[in-house]
Structure 1
C-alpha cells in the first residue's frame, strides 16, 4: 500500500488560526496540538492597544509641542507578529519532519504576511496557498472547500 503524504492545513486570519492535519481528500482532518492557535496579544480594537491621546513631543527647532502619531496601526502590527509566530511554528515542524505537505488558507493580506516570513523548510513543503478565509468554516464543509480551492 503506498504511503499517503501527511498534510498540515493552516486556516488563519489576523486574529485566529486553526492548524489541522490529515491526508487527502481531507475527510480525516484533526487538530494539531488542540488545533486552535490564538495570538499572544489578542486585541480586537486599536483603542485596546493605544492610549486615548497621541503622545506629545517638543520640536528641536523652536521648542513647540506637537502630537506624535504612531508609525503603524497597532492592530496591523499585532497581525504581522501573529503571522511571524505561525510561520515559525510551521518552519520548526517542517524541519522536524512532522508533515510532508502544507496548505495555507488565509485572507489575501494575511496570506501575504505569512508567505513573506515563512522559512525555507516550510516553503519547500508548501503545496497550496489559498487566498480565502476558511477559519470559521464548519468542519463538515472544509474537505469540499479545500479540494475545490486547490483544484483536485
Structure 2
C-alpha cells in the first residue's frame, strides 16, 4: 500500500486532488475534476418551471426554486469523484485520504464512497476550500495529516 496521503477538496462543481508523502509537509495538486453541469442556472435545468408572475399590488414574484436538479447533479458528481478515488485506491496510489467539502456535498460524497475507500478517510473538514491555492489550503488542516494504520 502506498504511503501517499491524498487530500480531496471539493464542492458541487470542482474536485481538486492534492498529494503528499510527508504528513508534515506541503501538498501538491495532482488532479482536477470538473462538473460544469452543476454550474448551470436553475432556469436552464428546468424547462417546465413556472415563470415570474405579475401582481398589480406586490410587483414581481418568483416561485420557490426546485433544487432537485442541482441535488441530482451533485449526486452524479459525488459518484464521479468516488469512482476516481476507488480506482486510485485499487491502483495503490494512496494509503490515506483527507476530505474537505461543504456539508451537503461532503454528505453526498460519503454516501458515494465504497467501504474500502471510506476506511482510508482519516480526516474530514466540512468547508468549501476548493478555490484556495495549495499553500493556503494546507493551513486549514492540522499540522500533521494523519496516516492510516498499516
TM-score class, shorter-chain normalisation, is: 0.7 to 0.9
Q: Does 1:15 align with 2:13?
A: yes
Q: Deviations over 1:36-86 (max 9, x none)?
A: 2101634331112121546xxxxxxxxxxxxxxxx8621111011000110
C-alpha RMSD of matched pairs (Å): 2.5
Q: Does 1:122 align with 2:103?
A: no
Helix, strand or coil: the match of 2:142? helix
Match of 1:50 in 2: 46
Helix, strand or coil: the match of 2:12? coil
- Distance in 2 (CA, whole Å) between partners of 1:85 and 1:95 is 15
Aligned residue pairs total 130
Match of 1:100 in 2: 95
- Note if contact 2:29-2:134 (Cα within 8 Å) is conserved in structure 1: no
TM-score by length of 1: 0.74
1:149 CA displacement: 9.9
Q: 1:37 aligns with which of 16, 27, 33?
A: 33
Helix, strand or coil: the match of 1:19? strand
